Amino acid sequence: MKRILITGGAGFLGSHLCDRFIKEGYHVIAMDNLITGDIRNIEHLFKLPNFEFYHHDVSKFIHVPGELDYILHFASPASPIDYLKIPIQTLKVGSLGIHNCLGLARVKNARVLIASTSEVYGDPTVHPQNEDYWGNVNPVGPRGVYDEAKRFQEAMTMAYHTYHNVETRIVRIFNTYGPRMRLNDGRVLPAFIGQALRGEDLTVFGDGSQTRSFCYVDDLIEGIYRLLMSDYPYPVNVGNPSEITIGQFAEEIIKLTGTDQKVVYKELPKDDPKQRQPDITKAKEILGWEPQVSRAEGLKITYEYFRNLPEEELYKAAYHREFTKK
Ligand code: NAD
Ligand code: UDP
């Protein structure tokens, strides 16, 4: 039985990866310090003999007994609201955390795949973004703690590949959504759906003309699986190129939820990227991958998930509302 370590395994993406590798017949070890994750995302796996959970901070030395075939490094705060609240931990998990994972990979002779992000392109001046674009990042702006951690993480990963012959894979993930996102993580989709469910107006930042391209989680997981199994060591964009303005997205959520609330406009956060769309030519060519789930389908499934959460979950979102007022 192949053995895989998934850091950030109790998070949104990490928990879907745990499910996928369990389904593929792996022994899965999820490692997480639960700083932004939720144990309930993986609770259903605890009864399985081929699943283990280590409650551990990846930025500290990692010890995993036995062999490892693969390591997926997904531990990191991921939403702007999270990494603004915990900037130092964000920098540490992208630097010390990946160093520990790569060191472990070297000892175990394991292949490593790291979760990078479209944020390495910053506020892009090239559109759509392809992997050859180096980006436009403000290192000392509020997003710098995340963007630079991820850029460092890519550099460290390439260095282990080049100098220590560690087998490495780098996925640049574009905005992904689906069940198990945290309702209060501040990302735009849970923010809008949470507001609709609580009967509040939807808060569009800026004039709503900035764009994003949203990928449904199942599509992303398939892309990551194929990349891990490929022999391609350089970064690959995985995302859905279907681009939409945030203003239009708010209208879609209003229609989806049937809310009679309206859109209200708030200040645009500093360095908020104006446009984002993945160029997925590489993923198509190298992995034979492209997204299968339309935004209409994916949003319907995600809305059902949020709608069926216990009501108190809706009001845990309070701190986010406080934050956006500032
Ligand atoms: P998430 O917050 O749901 O998951 C991150 C997980 O990492 C959480 O369970 C958290 O507790 C854990 N974690 C954080 N620091 C840790 C540490 N020091 N030690 C151990 N565990 C730690 O976020 P997500 O959306 O699932 O993101 C997962 C990964 O994917 C991140 O690396 C993120 O940067 C990347 N990513 C996500 C998206 C997206 O749209 N969801 C886009 C680009 C990149
Ligand atoms: N956004 C918004 N209202 C919200 C939350 C976010 O208008 O309540 C905007 C945000 O300014 C950004 C986009 O939605 O332009 C996506 O934000 P998110 O935090 O989801 O991810 P990002 O892609 O910026 O990291």
In a domain, 288, yes or no: no
Q: pLDDT band at 316, cuts 50/70/90?
A: confident
As given in the structure block, the two tokens for residue 179 are 């069940």
Residue nearest to atom 16 of ligand 1 (CA): 75
Query: Using one digit for the tens of pLDDT, what is the confidence trace for 13-22?
Result: 999 999 999 9
Give me the pLDDT at residue 317, please.
55
Q: pLDDT band at 44, cuts 50/70/90?
A: very high
Query: Using one digit for the tens of pLDDT, what is the confidence trace for 48-81?
Result: 999 999 999 999 999 999 999 999 999 999 999 8
Q: How far apart are CA 48 and CA 52, in angstroms?
A: 8
What CATH code is carried by the domain that includes residue 187?
3.90.25.10
103 and 18 co-located in one domain: yes
143 and 98 co-located in one domain: yes
**Burial of 167 from C-beta contacts in 10 A (0-12 / 13-18 / 19+):** middle
Q: How far apart are CA 187 and CA 251, in angstroms?
A: 16
Counted domains in the chain:
2
As given in the structure block, the two tokens for residue 222 are 């398939």
In a domain, 289, yes or no: no
Q: pLDDT band at 320, cuts 50/70/90?
A: very low
Q: Please give the sequence-ordered ranges of beta strands (E in DSSP) within 33-186, or none if there are none.
A: 51-55, 70-73, 111-117, 168-173, 176-177
In 168-310, which ranges are continuous DSSP H helix?
188-198, 217-229, 246-257, 281-282, 295-307
230 and 312 co-located in one domain: no
25 and 40 co-located in one domain: yes
Ligand 1 pocket mutation pick from 15, 35, 42, 187 by most atoms within 8 angstroms of CB: 35
Question: Average model confidence (pLDDT) for the chain?
Answer: 95
15 and 57 co-located in one domain: yes
**Whether residue 217 has pLDDT greater than 60:** yes
201 and 142 co-located in one domain: no
Rounded distance from Cα 74 to ligand 1 centre (Å): 5
248 and 143 co-located in one domain: no
Domain of 8, in residue numbers: 3-175+216-238
37 and 122 co-located in one domain: yes
Q: Please give the sequence-ordered ranges of beta strands (E in DSSP) within the chain, or none if there are none.
A: 3-7, 27-32, 51-55, 70-73, 111-117, 168-173, 176-177, 202-205, 211-213, 215-216, 235-238, 243-245, 263-266
Query: Using one digit for the tens of pLDDT, what is the confidence trace for 270-309?
Result: 999 999 999 999 999 999 999 999 999 999 999 999 999 9
Query: Using one digit for the tens of pLDDT, what is the confidence trace for 152-186?
Result: 999 999 999 999 999 999 999 999 999 999 998 89
Give me the pLDDT at residue 324, please.
41
95 and 152 co-located in one domain: yes
Q: How far apart are CA 107 and CA 13, in angstroms?
A: 26
Instruction: Using alpha carbons, select from 77, 74, 193, 235 the residue that is nearest to residue 142.
Output: 77
In a domain, 105, yes or no: yes
8 and 144 co-located in one domain: yes
Give me the pLDDT at residue 319, please.
45
Q: Which ligand is nearest to the CA of 170?
A: 1
Q: Is the pTM of this model over 0.75?
A: yes
Q: How far apart are CA 166 and CA 159, in angstroms?
A: 9
- Report the pLDDT averaged over residues 81-90: 93
What CATH code is carried by the domain that includes residue 110?
3.40.50.720
In a domain, 201, yes or no: yes
Q: Which ligand is nearest to the CA of 253?
A: 2
Q: Which residues of 227-259 are buried (b: 16+ CB within 10 A; e: fewer)?
A: bbeeeebebbbbbbbebbbbbebbeebbebbeb
H helix or E strand, kind and range, residue 20: helix 12-23
228 and 262 co-located in one domain: no
Contact 184, 194 (CB under 8 A): yes
As given in the structure block, the two tokens for residue 292 are 């299968």
80 and 207 co-located in one domain: no
In a domain, 49, yes or no: yes
In a domain, 224, yes or no: yes
In a domain, 21, yes or no: yes
